[in-house]
């Protein structure tokens, strides 16, 4: 019988046979992706969360929550911080998907190198054609 990649990983001790661990690992990655998405939405527009809290009946009038809503309504992060943090968050989420869901964690180094190639290409391309003279964020 021909062996599949998954069976090879099991044989090499990649953890494919420990089902509970595998299950928990992927679910934690899922939770992390969901939370990071919320953070991504929060950073450029904190007022979305103010509107969200305001819409919950019975909570928006509670003292501390009311103060939090007022604070979030006024909160604005520095533009450079917004851009840099959003790029970092996107790269972290990308890494989580590639490393755990696309199984790079259990892959041969050659495949990992192949997977990294587009990021190198993207970096050179973006840096190369970015309008550095006079660009603004």
Partner 1 sequence: MAPKEASIMEGPGAGEESLGVTNGKIGMWTFLVMDAMTFAGLLAGYARLRWTPDSLWPFPIEAFGVIGIQLTAFNTFILICSSVAMVHVLAEQMRGNMDRAEKWLMATIAGGLIFLGIQAFEWTHLIIDKFHLLMDAGYNQNFPATFYLLTGFHGAHVAIGVIYNTILLMGMRSGKVTEEHTSTTEIAGLYWHFVDLVWILVFTFVYLI
Beta carbon nearer to partner 1, 51 or 59: 51
Beta carbon nearer to partner 1, 20 or 64: 20
Q: Rg of the chain's alpha carbons, rounded to an integer?
A: 21
Beta carbon nearer to partner 1, 62 or 123: 123
Q: Give the shortest CB-4-to-partner 1 separation in angstroms.
A: 4
Beta carbon nearer to partner 1, 62 or 122: 122
In residues, how long is the chain? 137
Binding site for partner 1 (CB under 8 A): 1-2, 4-8, 16, 19, 22-23, 26-27, 29-30, 33-34, 37-38, 40-41, 43-45, 47-48, 51, 82-83, 86-87, 89-90, 93-94, 97-98, 101-103, 107-108, 110-111, 114-115, 117-118, 121-122, 125-126, 129-131, 133-137
Query: Cα(75)–Cα(67) distance, rounded to whole angstroms?
Result: 12
User: Would you say the C-alpha torsion 85, 87, 91, 96 has a positive or negative sign?
Assistant: positive
DSSP, residue by residue, 17-69: T-HHHHHHHHHHHHHHHHHHHHHHHHTT-THHHHHHHHHSTTTTTSHHHHHHH
């Amino acid at each position: 019988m021909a062996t599949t990649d998954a069976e090879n990983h099991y044989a090499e001790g990649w953890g494919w046979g420990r089902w509970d661990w595998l299950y928990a690992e992927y679910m934690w990655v899922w939770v992390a992706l969901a939370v990071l998405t919320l953070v991504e939405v929060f950073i450029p527009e904190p007022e979305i969360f103010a509107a969200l809290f305001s819409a919950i009946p019975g909570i928006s009038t509670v003292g501390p929550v009311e103060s939090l809503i007022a604070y979030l309504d006024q909160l604005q992060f520095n533009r450079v911080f917004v851009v840099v943090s959003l790029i970092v968050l996107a790269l972290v989420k990308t890494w989580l998907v590639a490393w755990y869901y696309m199984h790079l964690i259990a892959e041969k180094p050659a495949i990992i190198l192949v997977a990294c190639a587009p990021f190198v290409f993207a970096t050179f391309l973006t840096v190369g054609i970015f309008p550095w003279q006079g660009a603004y964020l």
